[in-house]
Structure 1
């Protein structure tokens, strides 16, 4: 068995172990106070009215080896999973969190577990974990902090095979369809596959390079000028193919 197969087998075993643990918690009733599927389905129903949108995005990047100016982009989204980004030059914009899409965040075929109710800042949230039932899914585990009263995702942590761990804090400001105003994304630099071509030069390794590589990268995405349900053409998204 080569190294790649061994790593894949390890990930499959890890996902199965997590799945068995979740099933045990559900069957035992331990900490199972609320129905996690009901919470997630309510969240999906809330945003089912959003068929498409365009929005202006301001992107601020904090990565140790990139001297990148503030970038402007226009994002296009169409239900269920079409995304198109227009920007001049390279913009470090994680694909998984470039657009706000609870349906994609949650997925379709998963096992969900209610963990607890806790306080996040000044907001009471329900913590729900999901694990995809498909062993080939790149996502290993996702944790949601959900304001059930307003039915908003306040925070999300996604563990993936190819991109490490993403942590996303989401801010709202009474925008149309309760879409977010800002996403604050933190990710593991050591697990991030960076594009070969981008604006700015990678500095030569220094004595602190290894320590920095193990650090975190940050991206702040601020949205403005939402235009929702305008009937976007599929041609916009075919440009990415």
Structure 2
């Protein structure tokens, strides 16, 4: 029996020779898919969009509001409410998909397949090469046919984990969503970086105390009604 086992045993080095081509091929596929996503997002240099923002956070009373959203490469982002008050996300680049791929400073790792709303997606993890990066890992769920990120789960060092879910329609060919939803844990009243909006004094703000909300989820949803793309936006808009 021992002789038989020895006869059919495969040395570890030889086994790696069999497995390595498959691993390399999957890594190449992941990089190629990321490249296609980036190429689509790169078509947008700037945009101004109209939309409606809904906020569902237990400790905030923020009414539904019409908003104007401004974006300019690489990471300028601003939301202006209908009453003229500006909402500037802290670290706002993190809520723009294009910023996840900025500088190619990451490794793309294939992580299997899944479905989003019944549609097949490939799962790819982006691991930052910069050890000082606040982002630990970004898990992307990508529609391979359309080269669209349908969902992203971002894990950070300082601000926990949050999710972005995208629904596409009219602007699919430029990778711009019709609806984007941010989901995050409200534990310790701490919004993740990129979602910690500076609200005006008339709205209840999170308090830094020992009270927690357990594992409750907060949600911010922006429904875009139209985009004006690549018409140029002055830097002064973002001040």
TM range (shorter): 0.7 to 0.9
Aligned length in residues? 207
Is the Cα contact below 8 Å between 2:85 and 2:200 reproduced in 1?
no
Identify the residue that residue 45 of structure 1 maps to in structure 2. 39
The SS at the match of 2:178 is strand
Q: Deviations over 1:87-118 (max 9, x none)?
A: 244759673565xx432023320011011122
1:103–1:203: structure 2 CA closer, same or farther, 3 Å change rule?
closer
C-alpha separation between the residues in 2 aligned to 1:27 and 1:131? 20
Of 58, 66, 75 in structure 2, the residue corresponding to residue 72 of structure 1 is 66
Relative to 1, partners in 2 of residues 1:115 and 1:31: Cα closer, same or farther, differing over 3 Å? farther
CA distance in 2, matches of 1:161, 1:198: 29
> Highest Rg: 1 or 2?
2
C-alpha RMSD over aligned residues: 3.0
The TM-score, its normalising length taken from structure 2, stands at 0.75
Question: Which residue number in structure 2 is paired with residue 18 of structure 1?
Answer: none
**Alpha-carbon contact 2:79-2:88 (below 8 Å) kept:** no
1:199 paired with 2:217, answer: no
* Moved segments of 4+, more than 6 Å: none
Distance in 1, matches of 2:199 and 2:72, equals 28
Write the distance in 2 (CA, Å) between the matches of 1:215 and 1:57.
Answer: 26
Deviation at 1:186, TM superposition (A): 0.5
Structure 1 residue aligned with 2:181: 184
Distance 1:63 1:27 in 2: 47
Partner residue in 2 for 1:228: 229
**2:145 matched residue in structure 1:** 149
Unaligned runs of 5+ in 2: 1-18
More displaced stretch, 78-87 vs 128-137? 78-87
Q: 1:92 to 1:48 in 2, by over 3 A?
A: closer
Structure-1 residue corresponding to 2:97 = 102
- 2:7 corresponding residue in structure 1: none
Tell me the residue number matched to 2:216. Answer: 215
Equivalents in 2 of 1:133, 1:97: separation in Å? 17
Query: Are 1:36 and 2:30 an aligned pair?
Result: yes
Q: Note the C-alpha offset of 1:27.
A: 5.9
